[in-house]
Structure 1
Amino acid sequence: MGGINPELLENFVAKLGLFAPFFYIILYIIATILLLPSTPLNVSGGLIFGFWWGLLWTAIAAVIAAMVSFAYSRFLGRKWVKKRFGIHLQRLDKEIKKGGMSYIFAIRLLPLIPYGIVNFGAGLTCVKKKDYLLGTIFGTIPGILPFVMMGAGISAMSKGDMLMITLSLGLTGLLVGAATYYQKISN
């Protein structure tokens, strides 16, 4: 995924017209299931669709991909993991039960943990589907925001506008700090 040329992807998706968002969402879901990095797709969302539409389509794609991966992992993996790692999983489940939505929310804000791994990993825990969905929605949007903004800023840079790129980099640092602080105060 890191080897995809965003300009080639932008040109290809632009040719799809009204089907472009649908194609983008399917591509995002497949990439997430294959545990490919989501950052290039988040940046591409801003580059292809602009900031607001990019944020909308990327958020929809990310949440759907997260739910598909979570369901797959929960359905196929939880029993197997519980059999093999019962005592360790019990400790993790105990922590997750205290604040499942808070954990998912905080993890989503950290751009350091691969999105797909969080999806599959959460499916192996006892986190409630509702908590997972809400934590994913509320954590994904601010988590993808700087990257979509960066993608939109790439095209703005060609016109000499550095504001979008500067804001996206500042926002990334702010989110990492906020997620770290949030995790500390919630424990």
Structure 2
Amino acid sequence: MKARVILKGLALMLSLTLLGYLFNASDLGSSVNEAWIDARVRGHGVNGALLFLLMGGLFTAIGLPRQIIAFLGGYAFSVGLGTLLGALAALLGCMLSFAYARFFGQGLLRARLGERAGRFDRFIHDHPFPMTVLIRLLPVGSNLLTNLAAGISSIRSVHFFSGTLLGYLPQALVFALVGSGVHIAPMLKIALAIGLFVISGALGAYLYHRFRHGQSLDPQIDAALDETEPSPHEPTTKS
């Protein structure tokens, strides 16, 4: 897995950590907090959790990174509950964009994403559930485009949704931990989150190379995860 893939994930993680600091330390962050998280979610029991799920689902359905929702889940709830609700909110967003593609966007999306959907079909054809888990573990790729491509593919929704939820959990845990107020040293919390992120990403990259069996989910993903693959402009040498 290329260093720049890890660095992009760490940059997102550190930026969210800074956002959490601003929430607590600045007037602007405090007003944002009180305007939504503190006023409508935190401490509001089931109603707050349902509102979080609804808003998180809607935002991820239109392309907001699911890691941000997990971060806010960790901020609003405990690490455990924030992880679960962050993953469920992202799953709801996945369901919404998947359903849109499957029932309303076939014509337009097939014209634009038909090739990607075909690659997705071939990639998951034999083992749809485990291959969906694998895709969600990858630290690269577009969550929204994957949802839309799956919607116009032949995959059964039960396989896609169950595999998606399981695959979402590791990164949801990482970013909920970053966003949480868990009472451990801040640097230790960040170091733990970084370690979990690297492990999760490395596992996804390993499984991708191990089980794709010559299929390609996306050329850009292949390039990002394969450090040894020569570029199209570089001559190959025979041993």
TM-score by length of 2: 0.66
Q: In the alignment, what sits opposite 1:132?
A: 160
Deviation at residue 186 of structure 1 after TM alignment? 1.2
- Could you tell me how far 1:131 is from its partner in structure 2? 1.3
Q: Which structure features the higher share of helix residues? A: 1
Decide whether the 8 Å contact of 1:105 with 1:139 is kept in 2.
yes
Which one of the candidate residues 198, 206, 209 is aligned to 1:184? 209
Unmatched runs of 5 consecutive residues or more in structure 1? none
1:15 and 2:39 are equivalent in the alignment: yes
Which runs of structure 2 are paired with 1:38-77 in the superposition (5 Å)? 38-77=66-105
Distance change >3 Å, CA 43–CA 128, structure 1 → 2:
same
Provide Cα deviations, 1:35-85, integer angstroms capped at 9, x if missing partner: 122222211111111201211211221212211211111112335555777
- For residue 3 of structure 2, what is the aligned residue in structure 1? none
| Paired position in structure 2 for 1:172 | 197
CA distance in 1: counterparts of 2:89 and 2:121, whole angstroms: 28
* 8 Å CA contact 1:78, 1:125 repeated in 2: no
C-alpha distance in 2 between matches for 1:56 and 1:90? 31
Shift of 1:166: 1.4
Amino acid at match of 1:50: S
What is the DSSP-based 3-state SS (H/G/I as helix, E as strand, rest coil) of the residue aligned with 1:93? helix
- Cα distance, 1:90–1:109 mapped onto 2, change above 3 Å: closer
How far is the alpha carbon of 1:96 from its aligned partner? 2.7
Change (3 A) 1:53 1:121: same
How far, CA to CA, are the matches of 1:100 and 1:79 in structure 2?
24
Q: Say which of 105, 126, 129 aligns to 1:101.
A: 129
Whole-angstrom distance in 2 between the partners of 1:118 and 1:91: 11
1:84, 1:149 → 2: CA distance? 37
Contact in 2 for aligned 1:38/1:114 (Cα 8 Å): no
Matched, 1:110 2:138: yes
**Residue-by-residue CA offset, 1:7-43 (whole Å, 9 max, x unaligned):** 2454332222222212211111121122122222211
Q: Report deviation, 1:168.
A: 0.9
Displacement of 1:173 after TM fit? 0.5
**Which whole-Å CA distance do the structure 2 matches of 1:175 and 1:132 have between them?**
20
Give secondary structure in 1 for the equivalent of 2:127.
helix
Pair member with larger Rg: 2
Q: Is the 8 A contact 2:117 2:149 kept in 1?
A: no
Q: Is the 8 A contact 1:96 1:126 kept in 2?
A: no
Q: Give 5+ residue unaligned stretches, structure 2.
A: 1-14, 24-28, 213-239
Identity, in percent, stands at 25
Q: Count the aligned residue pairs.
A: 182
In the TM superposition, residue 181 of structure 1 has moved relative to its aligned partner by: 0.7
Give the RMSD, CA atoms, in angstroms: 2.7
Counterpart of 2:54, as a letter, is: I
**Is 2:170 aligned against 1:142?**
yes
- Cα distance change, pair 156–185 in 1 and its aligned pair in 2 (3 A): same
Quick one: which amino acid aligns to residue 38 of structure 2? Answer: A
